[in-house]
Amino acid sequence: MKKQLSTSMTFFYKYIFPTVWLTGFGLGSIMVVFSEGIEGLPFFIGFFIGFFIFYHTSFRAKEVYIDDEFLYVSNFRRSIQVPLRKVKAVSEIYFWSPTLIFVEFSEPTDFGKKILFIAYFQMFPTYPHPARKEIEQRI
């Protein structure tokens, strides 16, 4: 039976939140730069820093499920299943909220050699995250 390892909020974190934040902060930054001139430049720089962070986290996030044999990975447009024997390494960024988990494969998949997913929420965070432990125990 498949078990979901990624948060049920993946769609929100991948598409909705970045779109709303980047649109709002981007428009606000443009308005400040046009009204304040060079003094509004820090807001514009903040927009690019925000875009950089979203690009390396939310935009790359995948929806991930696991069973006894496969890791099921989806980007909401297409899905693949990767045999667990092809999982090379699992790591996480613990001090980021929500927790980001990286899965590296021994050979390239349709989503590349490394994927990222946003782990499900824990009321009392532990290290390593149970989703990471789940993958590591099955490989």
Q: Which residue has the tokens 């514009």?
A: 44
In the predicted structure, residue 40 carries a pLDDT above the cut 90: no
In the predicted structure, residue 89 carries a pLDDT above the cut 80: yes
- The predicted pLDDT at position 127 comes to 82
Quick count: other Cβ atoms within 10 Å of Cβ 137?
7
The mean pLDDT of 108-120, rounded to a whole number, is 95
- The predicted pLDDT at position 52 comes to 95
- The predicted pLDDT at position 69 comes to 94
CA distance 74 to 66: 12
The CATH class given to the 1-139 domain equals mainly beta
Quick count: other Cβ atoms within 10 Å of Cβ 35?
9
Of the chain, the percentage scoring pLDDT greater than 70 comes to: 100
User: In the chain, which residue ranges form alpha helices assigned H by DSSP?
Assistant: 10-11, 17-36, 41-56, 130-138
CA distance 127 to 98: 13
pTM: 0.85
Domain parsing of the chain, residue ranges: 1-139
Using one digit for the tens of pLDDT, what is the confidence trace for 4-37? 999 999 999 999 999 999 999 999 988 988 888 8
Measured in residues, the chain has a length of 139
